[in-house]
Amino acid sequence: MGELPVGRRVAYWRARRRLSQQVFADRLGKSKSWVDKVERGVRALDKLSTLQAIATVLRIDTAILLGRDTRPVEVATRADELERVRAALSRYEIPFGRPPGARPVLPADRMARQVAHAWTTFQYARYPHLVGLLPGLLADAHHCHAADPVGGRVPLVQAYRVTAAVLVKLGDPDLGWLAVDRAMNVASGDRYLVAAAAVQLGQVLRAAGRARVAKSAMLAAAYRIAPAEHGDGPQLSLCGTLLVQAALAAARDGDDSAVADLLDEAGAMAAQVGDGLDHQYTGFGPTAVTLARAAAAVDLGDVGQAIAWHQSGVRRDGWRWLPAEHRAAHLVDTARAHLHATDPRTAGRILTEADRIAPAEVRRRPAGRDLLARIAHDPDAPATITHLATCLGVG
């Protein structure tokens, strides 16, 4: 069955259900001629809605029509992925005085390199691989910090930061809140380290639906490290990123005036930093602020403005310097804007580009999968989108 064309599978399962072509056509609301052409391969089935209707009548899963009787490995359940991270955050080896076991205690400089590798993995949107790294990374960072509280502090905070970041991506802000809360506690006393951890705090709070709390926390963190006059790149990047997070929270809360003011302030800092530096894994710069304006406009319901900011952002040189994760996440937002503008074809084309840049943003991230399903249900959706949605079992 796995190698049969889709039309032949339809014919096979129709016969298994003891349905004539006429009865099958009547139940689908199609003509007998249409069914005959589908089964002979003369007419292609490239719309998800049609495939789902056929599967419903035949009482089978849509994936079976495509020769995928089981889900592909890349669609392993998100619950299993998150359980690994939850288990890692549930261990308390250091407070309970448990030895590190067979794993050596890494020196701070080597631990920092391990954490940097985890961030690179995140920025390439290799979320399943990162989830596999996190249990060992967190354990190593804890033991490093216990052996060297000064040198191991930054790697431990950064390990918690990247954990929170990927948990937001995978749709579990509550578990991400636990990770970022620990990051904030470890960072306490160092305002720059607190500011770095606060970036993920803003993401977690927005994802948890606490926009007003997020805005307040981001402003407190931003103005705590705001430069008096001319700050250095890392300081400006952290402060500017926190202002962007505050603006995105304000957009989620419908406060368009605050959004404009905060993004203008962030934009002035971004102009001093420039593009392509990625201080503290923020990706902050003029292009990032432009993309944030687009994302905020989507949440404010100003679709035309969102599309205009998108077009401005992707034309900048800084666009190609942003991490794959950042670019693909922006394209998901832009596809959402085009869908709101009742332009499913463009939305599908942009989502396909996001899938090319960073597949996990569409295939693993709940926001991406939900958008994929919504676009695929539209009769004007591109065939590439309906095929991807069907392969992933989305919809």
Q: Mind listing the pLDDT tens digit for each residue in 227-242?
A: 877 778 899 999 999 9
368 has a pLDDT exceeding 70: yes
DSSP letters spanning 47-106: -HHHHHHHHHHHTS-HHHHTT-SS--GGG--HHHHHHHHHHHHT--TTTTT---TTSPPP
Q: Where are the domains of the chain?
A: 6-65, 78-314, 323-395
Of 51-55, 78-82, 112-116, 135-139, the poorest mean pLDDT is in: 78-82
Residue 177 CA to residue 4 CA, distance in Å, equals 47
More confident site: 166 or 104: 166
pLDDT score for 84 = 82
Cα-Cα-Cα-Cα torsion 163, 167, 169, 174, nearest 10 degrees, comes to: -140
Choices 1.10.260.40, 3.40.1000.10, 3.40.1190.10, 3.40.50.1370: CATH for 6-65: 1.10.260.40
296 has a pLDDT exceeding 70: yes
Residue 297 and residue 278 in contact, taking contact as beta carbons nearer than 8 Å: no
Superfamily of domain 78-314: Tetratricopeptide repeat domain (1.25.40.10)
Residue 68 CA to residue 85 CA, distance in Å, equals 29
Percent of the chain whose predicted confidence (pLDDT) is above 70: 92
pLDDT score for 71 = 44
Residue 279 CA to residue 376 CA, distance in Å, equals 38
pLDDT, mean over the chain: 89
pLDDT score for 70 = 42
Res. 156 pLDDT band, cuts 50 70 90 = very high
Q: How many other CB atoms are there within 10 angstroms of residue 28's CB atom?
A: 17
pLDDT score for 134 = 95
Compute the C-alpha angle 284/285/287, nearest 5°. Answer: 110
pLDDT score for 111 = 97
User: Side chain identity at 56, as an amino acid letter?
Assistant: T
Residue 7 CA to residue 44 CA, distance in Å, equals 8
